[in-house]
Every structure is written in structure tokens, then in C-alpha cells.
């Protein structure tokens, strides 16, 4: 039977196992939305407030489940509004299919109304993209988009469908199964043997892992390897949640705002075993200084990551789960008591430094800024501290998926939140997209049916708070914790340290009342100044089964510590603001 292109799109999405799409209608996708309406009992469409929110929601859906997230937008501005979301997914290797409408083929290239060459625009931020000009190619192109999105190192794929292709009709035969990813690549046995030799000879091994462990489902193998060779582990921001925070071998995130113990331990190691990570500048600091003292084994699914940022002594391309499990068989069981002792020393030192840094912030005079913390009348030592906020929320959040925006709050959550299971910490690591959180938290809650808890700042929240409308109308179980310091804290921190306290455009000086804003959107909301107030608010928030905003007033001069200055190295680590 012949069916329309629009129907083929919806049928193919369903065939590929897609139960929820996020999007926003428009002139060139009306046909597609008509089919979504007709198929509404088989596939759910979440209408967001803005296409950017929809793209982050599809991303959050994918990060929380590992399934391919799908977003639909119209041509022109609808399509360009997806760009930040697609780039965010690309930098963090999130499987996503973005479907855009476009003007009819006959109008393409004539600067028609709402026409944009979105395939050209998104070429450098997608794994691949397509424009479908022949309806006979439509179903297979969408299948191929799913295949590419989830094969190897995952990533976003865009399919642009001109309106006339949505209207045209052709034969369609649904497939019984979703497409199977391309076969995995297996690490070479020879290289793994060489890696094992290095590991066996190492006295101070250290494992640095990244998001590849999560997308490669290799947490168990990673932990077994660490235990067998008795190596401490640290991770990139993207690696968080791959290993339980309280695992005895886990030292936490390393890098620019990583834990002191993991960054120093890595520097003192004689061998760094890198698994599913890409040596981002935020994780390594100064590249010349970074690998001075140790040898490197680098295993990654993406061959192009090998030797890209840091040259490895042994570089292995291959599926991480397979490679790690084979490596476990090849290495000898080891114990490194001296190395252990040193690690414990570093842990105690980290504890002391953290405590001292936490105290130090109160010694400073708050400048005459207009930040809300100054106006509360609450003595400095009774104010809410960032780590207290993270602790109190985590005590109440149960198995909620943790989502962050970008900035200081993101780092505080990354450093502090106790995580137990993979895919429970969603954050924009590579692109650092402020405004990522609202959409992602909605997508994650939709996908898991569980609470999402969003840590955000007043800057990031201001970027996409319109998605409160989506959360409320979809009745999303979502707790939004705003660390409201009245400033763009991360940039302010740099200005304090490196720009002579020239607070250029980082003191927001806004009169926005987030409690009233939330209430106007139909969400419940409360403002908290003290830990006691936050405890009460958190209890209510996680019992309300809807969207709840907690506006936490935080001192504007709280710092994210420790800090490796940009371009600096472990020698320059700042653990206290003097």
C-alpha cells in the first residue's frame, strides 16, 4: 500500500523503537505533525517551549537511557534553533536523530520563506546528515540515521525532509526489528598484550576513564580491572556515574576542577591507563607538562581520538567493553601497598585542603555588589553553602537522575553528588552549554519515569527557563535547584583570579524573582536561605510529583576549588583563595 512520506517517517520511528519524540511544529512539518496526531496512541510527542529545549530533551532522553533521542523541528529558524542542542550532543557523543522539515525541493536554493541549508549548517556538528529528495529513499535514510547514531562512538545525525517529500506517496514495508549497529571493532590482541606488559611492570598504575565507559556499558569491566591491578581511578566530567562514587579505588573527577587526590595521583603515577576518554584540555591542563612522568595506554572506540590530543605509548582502537574484559585476562593480579599508602595520604590532604578552603571564603569582605546574598541580613556563617545544598538534595532525591546546567553549580554537583549507577549524571561536558539543563532534565524524566533533579545557576536557568512551561504541562517530576548567587559565578571566579576583579558583565543585577516566575508558570516554588529551610523544601519537593523550584541564595564569592588555571598544570593547582 502506498503511504505518505510523513507517515513513513512516523512508522519508521516507531519501527526503530522510538516511543517519545520532542519537538515543535511549523509550516514545513505540518504533514509530519498530522501523522503524529493520528498515531498519538503509539508514539508520544512532547511539545517544548522552544526548539532548543526540544533538542536538549532528546539529548537528556538519550543520555538517561542509551536509546536514540529524537527531535523534530520545522525548517529555517526551527532548524537553526536545534543547532546548539545538536552540537551539545555531538561533543558528548550522544545518540540522537534530528528531523527537520524544509521547503519543497522546487523552492530550495531560492532563499524561500523559512529556508535554511541546515545540512550545510550542521555538517561539522553531526556524525552525518542527509537531505532526502526522493521519497523512495526516505525510510532507509531514517533507518541509516539510527544506525549511524548508535554505532561505534555514538552521535547525532540530522535528516532534512523537504515538504513535498512528506506529501508524496510510496510503498512502505515496516521492518520487524530496529536497525543493528555496525559490527564493533575488536582491539588487536597484540596491542592488548603489550598493554598488559606495561601494566604488569607498573608500580603506580592509574586509570583515567571517560564517558566511553558509560556508552560502552563497561562499568563492571572497569571496576574488575582496577581491582585486579590495584589501581586508583579518576575520570573526566563525562565519566561521572560510571563507577559508584564510594568505590574504594575511585578518587573522583580529575582536571581543571577535579579532585585534588585524583589529579595529583595521576601526575605521580608511572602508568596512566586511559579508557574511553579523550584527553580534553579541561582534563589534562597544559599538554606539554601533562604526560611528563608517566607512560600512557589509550583505548578508545574512535580511532581518531588516538594520538589526537596526547600521544600514547600504546594506542588501541576497539570496543571498550570487549577490550577491558580481555585486558583483565591478560594482566597479573597485583597489590601496590606503597602506592596505596600514598593515595591515602593524598585523600587526607584533599580533605584538609577542602575544609580549609571552605572556611577561607568567609574571611573575605564581600564587595559592594548587588548580589542577593548581601541583602538577606543572614550572618555569613549561617548562609547556605554550595556543598550543603548538594548534600541536602542528595539525601532527599532517592534514585533521581541528576542533571546540571553549566557553571560553578555544575562543578559543585560533579565534585560532591554521590552517584551509584551509570546514566544518572547528565551534564554538558564538551560544549559547556548553559541552558542545557531544563530540556535535558525533562527528557530524562520522560525517559525514566523517575524524578530528575536539576542543579542550575541563576545565569544558566535564565537561558531556558521557558521550559518550565513544558515541565508543568507535562507534569514532569522535576526538582530544580537554583544556586542563585546573582552573578555569573564561573566567569566571575576567573575575573577574581586573573582579571584584577574587573567584574565585567558578570554581576547580573536583575530583579527577577524566580519563585514568582516559577509560580507564574504553574510550578511550586520556595526560596531558601539556610540549610534548615532547604531540608524542609527538599522533602516537599520530592513528594509533590510535579515540578518544584527551589531558589537557594548563595554567596557570590563562593569558589569552585581546587582549580588548575587554564593552560596550567598540576604544579599550579589552586586549592585556596588567599
Partner 1 sequence: MDQYVIGVIVSNVSGVLSRVSGMFTRRGFNIDCLTVGETESSGFSRITVAFHGDKELKTRIVQQLEKLHDVREVEVLDKNDTVIRELLLIKVRNNSESRQDIMTAVEIFRSKIVDYSPTALVCELTGETSKIDAFIELLKPYGIMEMCRTGIVALERGENCLKTAK
Residues that bind partner 1 (CB under 8 A): 119-120, 123-124, 127-128, 148, 302-304, 306-308, 311
**CA-closest candidate to residue 552, choices 563, 541, 567, 565:** 541
- State the minimum distance, in angstroms, from the CB of residue 272 to partner 1: 19
Taking the least distance from each CB to partner 1, the nearer of 45 and 317 is 317
Other Cβ atoms within 10 Å of 220 Cβ, number: 13
Would you state the cell numbers that stand for residue 546, as one nine-digit string?
510535579
What cell does 456 get? 542550575
Q: Which residue has the cell 539529548?
A: 59
Which DSSP symbol is given to 431? S
Angle, to 10 degrees, between the axis of helix 30-38 and the axis of helix 5-15?
50
Nearest CA to 359 out of 377, 379, 385, 378 is that of: 385
Element (H, E) at 519: helix 514-521
Question: For residue 20, which of 444, 555, 568 has the smallest C-alpha distance?
Answer: 444
- In whole angstroms, the minimum distance from the beta carbon of 87 to partner 1 comes to 12
Cite the active site residues. 51, 113-114, 163, 490
Question: Exposure string (b/e) for 466-488, b if CB count within 10 Å is 16 or more?
Answer: ebbbbbbebebbbbbbbbbbbbb
Residue number, 302 or 519, with CB nearest to partner 1: 302
Smallest separation, CB 304 to partner 1 (Å): 4
DSSP state of 574: B
Q: Angle formed by the axes of helices 5-15 and 138-150, to 10°?
A: 30
Asked if 13 contacts 70 with a C-beta cutoff of 8 angstroms, the reply is yes
Tell me if 28 sits within 8 A of 103, measured CB to CB.
Answer: yes
Q: In whole angstroms, how close is the CB of 127 to partner 1 at the nearest point? A: 7
C-alpha cell at 193: 598484550
Distance separating alpha carbons of residues 135 and 8, to the nearest angstrom: 9
User: In whole angstroms, how close is the CB of 113 to partner 1 at the nearest point?
Assistant: 23
Of 304 and 352, CB closest to partner 1: 304
- The CA–CA distances, whole Å, from 494 to 559, 574, 576, 577 equal 10, 12, 14, 12
Are 447 and 67 within 8 A, CB to CB?
yes
Amino acid at each position: 500500500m502506498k503511504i505518505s512520506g510523513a507517515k513513513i517517517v512516523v512508522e519508521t520511528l516507531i519501527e526503530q523503537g522510538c516511543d517519545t519524540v520532542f519537538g515543535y511544529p511549523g509550516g514545513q512539518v505540518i504533514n509530519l505533525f498530522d501523522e503524529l496526531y493520528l498515531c498519538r496512541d503509539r508514539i508520544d510527542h512532547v511539545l517544548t517551549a522552544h526548539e532548543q529545549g526540544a533538542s536538549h530533551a532528546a539529548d537528556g532522553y538519550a543520555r538517561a537511557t542509551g536509546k536514540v533521542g529524537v527531535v523534530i523541528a520545522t525548517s529555517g529558524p526551527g532548524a537553526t534553533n536545534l543547532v546548539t542542542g545538536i552540537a551539545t550532543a555531538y561533543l558528548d557523543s550522544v545518540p540522537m536523530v534530528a528531523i527537520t522539515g524544509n521547503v519543497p525541493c522546487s523552492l530550495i536554493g531560492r532563499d524561500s520563506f523559512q529556508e535554511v541549508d541546515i545540512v550545510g549548517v550542521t555538517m561539522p556538528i553531526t556524525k552525518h546528515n542527509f537531505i532526502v529528495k526522493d521519497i523512495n529513499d526516505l525510510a532507509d535514510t531514517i533507518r541509516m540515521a539510527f544506525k549511524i547514531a548508535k554505532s561505534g562512538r555514538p552521535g547525532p545525525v540530522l535528516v532534512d525532509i523537504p515538504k513535498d517529500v512528506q506529501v508524496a506517496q510510496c510503498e512502505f514495508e515496516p521492518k520487524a526489528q530496529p536497525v543493528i549497529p555496525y559490527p564493533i571493532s575488536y582491539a588487536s590482541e597484540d596491542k592488548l598484550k603489550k598493554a598488559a606488559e606495561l601494566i604488569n611492570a607498573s608500580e603506580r598504575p592509574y586509570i583515567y576513564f571517560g564517558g566511553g565507559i558509560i556508552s560502552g556499558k563497561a562499568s563492571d569491566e572497569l571496576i574488575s580491572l582496577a581491582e585486579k591491578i590495584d589501581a586508583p581511578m579518576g575520570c573526566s566530567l563525562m565519566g561521572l556515574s560510571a563507577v559508584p562514587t564510594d568505590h574504594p579505588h575511585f578518587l573522583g573527577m580529575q582536571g581543571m576542577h577535579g579532585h585534588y587526590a585524583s589529579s595529583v595521583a595521576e601526575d605521580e603515577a608511572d602508568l596512566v591507563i586511559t579508557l574511553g576518554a579523550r584527553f580534553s584540555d579541561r582534563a589534562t591542563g597544559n599538554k606539554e607538562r601533562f604526560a611528563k612522568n608517566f607512560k600512557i595506554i589509550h583505548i578508545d572506540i574512535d580511532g581518531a581520538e588516538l594520538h589526537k590530543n596526547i600521544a600514547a605509548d600504546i594506542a588501541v582502537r576497539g570496543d571498550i567493553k570487549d577490550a577491558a574484559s580481555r585486558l583483565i585476562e591478560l594482566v597479573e593480579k597485583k597489590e601496590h601497598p606503597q602506592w596505596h599508602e600514598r593515595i591515602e595520604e593524598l585523600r587526607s590532604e584533599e580533605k584538609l585542603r577542602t575544609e580549609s578552603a571552605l572556611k577561607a571564603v568567609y574571611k573575605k569582605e564581600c564587595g559592594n555588589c548587588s548580589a542577593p546574598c548581601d541583602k538577606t541580613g543572614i550572618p555569613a556563617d549561617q548562609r547556605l553553602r554550595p556543598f550543603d545544598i548538594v548534600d541536602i538534595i542528595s539525601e532527599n532525591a532517592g534514585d533521581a537522575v541528576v542533571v546540571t546546567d553549566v557553571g560553578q553549580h555544575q562543578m559543585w554537583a560533579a565534585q560532591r553528588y554521590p552517584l551509584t549507577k551509570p546514566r544518572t549524571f547528565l551534564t554538558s561536558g564538551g560544549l559547556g552549554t548553559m541552558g542545557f539543563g531544563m530540556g535535558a532534565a525533562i527528557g530524562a524524566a520522560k525517559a525514566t519515569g523517575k524524578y530528575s533533579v536539576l542543579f542550575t545557576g541563576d545565569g544558566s536557568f535564565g537561558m531556558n527557563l521557558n521550559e518550565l512551561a513544558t515541565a508543568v504541562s507535562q507534569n514532569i517530576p522535576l526538582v530544580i535547584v537554583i544556586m542563585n548567587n546573582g552573578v555569573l559565578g564561573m566567569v566571575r571566579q576567573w575575573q577574581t583570579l586573573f582579571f584584577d576583579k574587573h567584574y565585567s558583565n558578570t554581576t547580573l543585577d536583575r530583579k527577577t524573582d524566580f519563585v514568582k516566575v516559577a509560580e507564574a508558570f504553574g510550578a511550586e516554588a520556595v526560596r531558601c536561605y539556610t540549610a534548615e529551610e532547604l531540608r524542609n523544601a527538599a522533602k516537599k519537593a520530592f513528594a509533590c510529583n510535579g515540578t518544584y523550584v527551589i531558589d537557594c541564595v548563595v554567596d557570590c564569592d563562593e569558589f569552585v576549588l581546587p582549580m588548575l588555571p587554564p593552560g596550567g598544570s598540576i604544579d599550579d593547582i589552586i586549592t585556596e583563595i588567599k
